Homo-oligomer: A and B are copies of this chain.
Amino acid sequence: MTTRPFHHGNLRAVLLEQGEVMLRETGVDGISLRELARQAGVSHGAPRSHFVDKQSLLDALAERGFDRLTHRVTAVAAQGATFTDRFRAVGHAYVDFAVGDAALMELMFAAKIDDPPEPVQQAAGRLFQTFDELLEGDAGVDAAAEEARWRFKLMFASTMQGTATLIAARRITPAQGQTVVDDAVDMMLASALGREVLQRG
């Protein structure tokens, strides 16, 4: 009780918290389970009780990343007065997140040989769900509108994702990235597909 007042049931939380910090400071390659255990003041075998292996910890970090990003996107979308405002704000929030947490972003969208584990996939699903809600009109949906909305959403997501990747990889600057997002939003809203999606009521 006095010898270990700290790690009574919250080692898991500490590992995740420090894992995020380590990710930011050293990148994915710099993450070490043993170093994390050292920082937490436990033996190197201790993390095993909460994460079966290293990948399991990385998956948990990715899952948290998706939830955090979803939260931010939702918050930002709620503030926008007009549809255009919300659209643009979400794009910028997405890119900002990717710039501030590049290594985490990379972990979230890492190339996988087989499907990501269920919890991660569901967390990613919740993010894309907020994009859907951004686009949802009040009118009942017919099949054609559904299809257009789906394609519109995908293009928006691709543009944001690509901008984020190019910034993180240092192929373009953050300022250039924001320009891309603005241009893309303008273009999409003015396009035929955009007008089809946005006619409502």
Interface residues of A (CB under 8 A from B): 27, 102-103, 105-106, 108-113, 115-116, 124, 128, 151, 154-155, 157-166, 168-172, 176-177, 179-180, 183-184, 187-188, 190-193
Given known contacts A115-B170, A162-B162, A187 and B155 CB-to-CB distance under 8 angstroms: yes
Main secondary structure of the interface of A (DSSP, over half): helix
Question: Which B-chain residue is minimally distant from A26 (CB atoms)?
Answer: B113
* Copies held by the complex: 2
What's the Cα separation between A189 and B180 when bound, in Å? 16
Q: List 14 A-B contacts (CB under 8 A).
A: A27-B111, A105-B111, A106-B110, A108-B169, A109-B169, A109-B171, A112-B170, A154-B176, A155-B159, A155-B187, A157-B162, A161-B166, A187-B191, A190-B192
